[in-house]
């Protein structure tokens, strides 16, 4: 076994041990309460689950990027869709933004605390009036002698209720369209920062999702992340990693729902035979397996390209589109094979089904992904 395989096996075991001990016994209750307790992030931090691929100088494990994606996939495979979404934001999106764009002072201040779970993070892009159209955002950040004054609102923010740190996308030059966007590291305890109550959703109930409001919120000049006016370029630069995380979730969740279904159809009988013996069942599951294996191969290809710095927006869009649509289709087919039981909350297949649905919406809708792919072929 190579060193890389040994590392992967060790982390795989560690991740599963943590999830089985700290998450599985409580997850049902968190789903019912529509919230994961804030302390869970400290627990995950202490267990070494946060910042797996972050440098050791900030308290990370310094492991490979593939292992950080494995963590997302395993959380999703166990049916913890809400946790997978929040984890992807905190550990796979906000941390890399800081690592790649932050000053040394910003990295020293935030990353160790984020890796410990003492600071939970969110990223605020989407606005009530502009969903996937990031260039149309209205939140503004006006530069003054004392700092930047931020005004506006964001919606559908994952980790929004608990986050102590939020990367806020705002227009520093409202006239400049996409070129006027800047990113800010906003401390949620500052005056002028407020949150709406949690948004109720059809799935991923345990994931806290909120509306955020900024009213004359003053942040210091050094809260700027990267350079002024480069925000949109940074978003485009970091989106492939976010979409890889969503792809890893899709693969993990599909593996999880397929395993449940294989088990069920071999035990359940109808018309004097196992449900597994009907040709329809066999063909549906064979097709699901084939799609999953092709999806895994493409995910691995994209991870390889990302590591070489060669993964572009088109590849990320193809990955996001195909893997999330696959996840929804297979969750739907699997639920059907459970019959009436599939529609009950007692059977976890129902949670895989409802948790899957948002995957084709957040991090860029399937329609936006198709447009990105079409532009690479036909231009604007």
Measured distance CA(141)–CA(94) in Å, rounded = 20
Catalytic pick among 66, 164, 242, 255: 242
Q: In angstroms, how far is CA 19 from the centroid of its own chain? A: 17
Residue 242 is among the residues annotated as catalytic for this protein? yes
Q: Which residues are catalytic?
A: 242
């Amino acid at each position: 076994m190579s060193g890389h395989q040994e590392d992967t096996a060790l982390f795989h075991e560690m991740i599963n041990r943590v999830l089985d001990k700290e998450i599985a016994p409580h997850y049902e209750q968190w789903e019912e309460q529509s919230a994961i307790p804030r302390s869970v992030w400290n627990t995950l931090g202490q267990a070494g689950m946060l910042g797996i691929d972050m440098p050791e100088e900030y308290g990370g494990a310094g492991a490979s990027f593939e292992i950080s994606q494995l963590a997302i996939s395993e959380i999703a495979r166990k049916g913890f869709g809400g946790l997978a979404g929040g984890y992807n934001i905190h550990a796979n999106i906000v941390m890399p933004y800081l690592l790649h764009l932050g000053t040394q002072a910003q990295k020293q201040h935030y990353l160790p605390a984020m890796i410990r779970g003492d600071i939970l993070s969110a990223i605020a892009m989407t606005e009530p009036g502009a969903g996937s159209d990031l260039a149309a955002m209205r939140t503004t950040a006006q530069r003054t002698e004392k700092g930047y004054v931020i005004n506006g609102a964001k919606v559908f923010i994952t980790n929004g209720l608990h986050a102590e740190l939020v990367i806020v996308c705002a227009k520093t030059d409202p006239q400049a369209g996409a070129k006027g966007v800047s990113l800010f590291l906003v401390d949620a305890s500052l005056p002028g920062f407020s949150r709406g109550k949690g948004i109720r959703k059809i799935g991923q109930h345990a994931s806290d999702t909120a509306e955020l409001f900024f009213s004359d919120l003053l942040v210091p000049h050094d809260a700027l992340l990267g350079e002024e006016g480069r925000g949109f370029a940074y978003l485009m630069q970091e989106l492939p990693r976010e979409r890889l995380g969503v792809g890893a979730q899709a693969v993990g969740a599909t593996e999880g729902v397929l395993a449940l279904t294989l088990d069920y159809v071999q035990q359940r009988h109808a018309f004097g035979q196992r449900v597994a013996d009907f040709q329809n069942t066999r063909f549906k599951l064979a097709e699901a397996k084939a799609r999953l294996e092709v999806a895994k191969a493409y995910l691995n290809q994209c991870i390889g390209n990302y590591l070489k710095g060669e993964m572009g927006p088109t590849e990320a869009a193809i990955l996001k589109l195909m893997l999330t649509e696959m996840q929804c289709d297979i969750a739907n087919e699997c639920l059907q094979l459970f019959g009436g039981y599939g529609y009950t909350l007692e059977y976890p297949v129902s949670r895989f089904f409802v948790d899957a649905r948002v995957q084709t919406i957040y991090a860029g809708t399937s329609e936006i992904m198709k447009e990105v792919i079409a532009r690479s072929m036909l231009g604007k």
